[in-house]
Amino acid sequence: MAEISAPKGVRDILPGESWKWAHVFRVMQETARHFGYSEVHLPLFEHTELFSRGIGDTTDVVEKEMYTFLDKGDRSITLRPEATASMVRAYLEHRMGTLPQPVKMWCAGPMFRYERPQKGRYRQFWQVDFESLGAASPYADVEIIAISLELFRRLGLGRLEVVINSVGCPECRPEYRKRLTEYFASRRDQLCETCLARLERNPLRILDCKQESCRAVTEAAPDVYDSLCGECRDHFDTVKDGLDALGASYRLDKRLVRGLDYYTKTAYEILSGELGSQNAVCGGGRYDNLAEAIGGHHVPGVGFAAGVDRILMVMEQQECSFGPVPSVDVFAVALDDASRRNVLQLVNMLRRNSIVAEMDLGGKSMKAQMKAASSRGARFACILGENERAGGTVTVKDLATAEQRELPLSSLVAELHNKLTSTREG
Ligand code: AMP
């Protein structure tokens, strides 16, 4: 029978990589804490309606990319393609509007989109998602952008570009939409098939098209800034001023509309030249009408999602640090069969004292155990035989220098901690 491999577009994160992911999540957790965000765990699947109403029926995500199926109770279920709609659903469902506002939450986990897999684009990928709910102030937008920047700074990511835009609100967007439709309609012949379809349904998305001919047309498209209402304009000015105050540089891009319908006012992305065509490490913005779109009351909100797979790709390329490489401190070796029981106890005692300890589990000879100790990259071998058992001692061999000493069991932990700390610091 043919071997079964993982489906297209998904991947395994194996031990050689997973410790690097753990580092990234530790940094995220710390950063979230410093900005006052609480972690939540949300379901991986939701009622399909949450996304079709929340993200918007005319978006690529909803039209083409969702993993949707009927469950055994004939309900339409979708594997979440993003987390914002779920976060807002949870806020409404748990009546978080009664809590002090804004409610600041974050989560991390896999998202699912049926996309064409390529470098940096998968069908199951990880996002970290930060949302500030119940905050209409532009300072909440600034805080959101600031967290993403701080996160990347702590991870050591360099050469990033922040791109921002305002996409207006239900007050001023219809006017802008009208101007755009007129502009694009007069240049129909230069638009690609997809954009022709977008012309009626969602002309803003044409601004986002990557096709050469469409890009050339969008170059001179009406400027969103000329259509913003007073409130949107003031909001955007305060966001820009807040970023200036933080010394964060950014580029304005009137073509940044992002793929999801729910954005109002601020939209932003953080790009890395290291990623090729899938160059966004993070995207976000304000979505003041999302809660109402999914049947709730009015809840202004702003947030971002960053792609963890892509963050790791950039970190690898920029040779960022992932913290200490996992290593074995001690490999315990039994000189004879009678000592195996003692080795088991020794390893257990070392582990309880926060020393990374390993032993042979397969009844190997002493020589094979020593070989295993070095192939596991252990710093020390702790050897136990008849003499050591009788004297209550352990022979400690430094595998880097081959230096060997017999130590009383009672001082072993302290000695090892000393040596390990000086090695780590050295
Ligand atoms: P979005 O929800 O589309 O704004 O995506 C937010 C971030 O998630 C992007 O900036 C990417 O870093 C990441 N991302 C989105 N789609 C994928 C995908 N198919 N594979 C890997 N990362 C993705």
In the predicted model, residues of the chain with pLDDT beneath 50 are none
With CA atoms as reference, report the closest residue to 315 among 130, 154, 126, 127: 154
Q: Distance from the CA of 307 to the center of ligand 1, in angstroms?
A: 5
* Together in a domain, 383 and 248: no
Q: Is residue 196 a part of any domain in this protein?
A: no
Q: Which ligand 1 atom sits nearest the alpha carbon of residue 115?
A: 19
Q: Report whether residue 80 contacts ligand 1, using a CB cutoff of 6 Å.
A: no
The pLDDT of residue 383 is: 97
Q: Report whether residue 203 contacts ligand 1, using a CB cutoff of 6 Å.
A: no
Q: Which ligand 1 atom sits nearest the alpha carbon of residue 123?
A: 19
Q: What DSSP element (H or E) covers 143?
A: helix 138-155
* Together in a domain, 240 and 287: yes
Q: Which domain-ending residue is among 317, 350, 377? A: 317
Q: Is residue 358 a part of any domain in this protein?
A: yes
| pLDDT one-digit tens code per residue, 112-157 | 999 999 989 999 999 999 999 999 999 999 999 999 999 999 999 9
* Together in a domain, 281 and 348: no
Hey, CA dihedral for 185, 191, 197, 201, is it positive or negative? negative
* Together in a domain, 262 and 146: yes
Count of domains for the chain: 2
| Mutation test residue for ligand 1: of 8, 309, 312, the one with most atoms within 8 Å of CB | 309
* Together in a domain, 312 and 344: no
Q: Is residue 135 a part of any domain in this protein?
A: yes
Q: Report whether residue 117 contacts ligand 1, using a CB cutoff of 6 Å.
A: no
Q: Distance from the CA of 62 to the center of ligand 1, in angstroms?
A: 15
Q: What six digits make up the tokens of 171? A: 């007050």
Q: Which ligand 1 atom sits nearest the alpha carbon of residue 81?
A: 2
In this structure, which residue's CA is closest to atom 1 in ligand 1?
Answer: 283
Indicate the residue type of 221: A
Which CATH number covers residue 390?
3.40.50.800
* Together in a domain, 336 and 397: yes
In contact, 133 and 102? CB cutoff 8 Å: yes
* Together in a domain, 268 and 360: no
111 Cβ partners below 8 Å, 6+ apart?
80, 81, 82, 83, 124, 125, 126, 127
Q: Report whether residue 113 contacts ligand 1, using a CB cutoff of 6 Å.
A: yes
SS3 280: strand
Indicate the residue type of 137: S
- Cβ burial of 15 (10 Å; 0-12, 13-18, 19+) is exposed
Residue 6 phi, psi dihedral angles, 5° rounding: -65, 150
* Together in a domain, 281 and 358: no
* Together in a domain, 57 and 163: yes
Residue 122 C-alpha from the chain's centroid: 13
Q: Which domain, by its residues, includes 82?
A: 15-172+228-317
Burial track 248-260 (b if 16+ CB lie within 10 A, e otherwise) = bebeebbbbbbbb
* Together in a domain, 283 and 144: yes
Torsion over CA of 338, 333, 385 and 418, rounded to 10 degrees? -130
Whole-angstrom distance, CA of residue 412 vs CA of residue 409 = 5
Q: Report whether residue 283 contacts ligand 1, using a CB cutoff of 6 Å.
A: yes
Q: Is residue 64 a part of any domain in this protein?
A: yes
* Together in a domain, 159 and 272: yes
Q: Which domain-ending residue is among 317, 340, 359? A: 317
Which CATH number covers residue 161?
3.30.930.10
Q: Report whether residue 280 contacts ligand 1, using a CB cutoff of 6 Å.
A: yes
355 Cβ partners below 8 Å, 6+ apart?
329, 330, 413, 416, 417, 420
* Together in a domain, 79 and 126: yes
| Mutation test residue for ligand 1: of 310, 311, 315, the one with most atoms within 8 Å of CB | 310
Q: Is residue 192 a part of any domain in this protein?
A: no
In this structure, which residue's CA is closest to atom 14 in ligand 1?
Answer: 307
Q: Which domain-ending residue is among 282, 317, 352? A: 317
Q: Is residue 213 a part of any domain in this protein?
A: no
Q: Is residue 31 a part of any domain in this protein?
A: yes
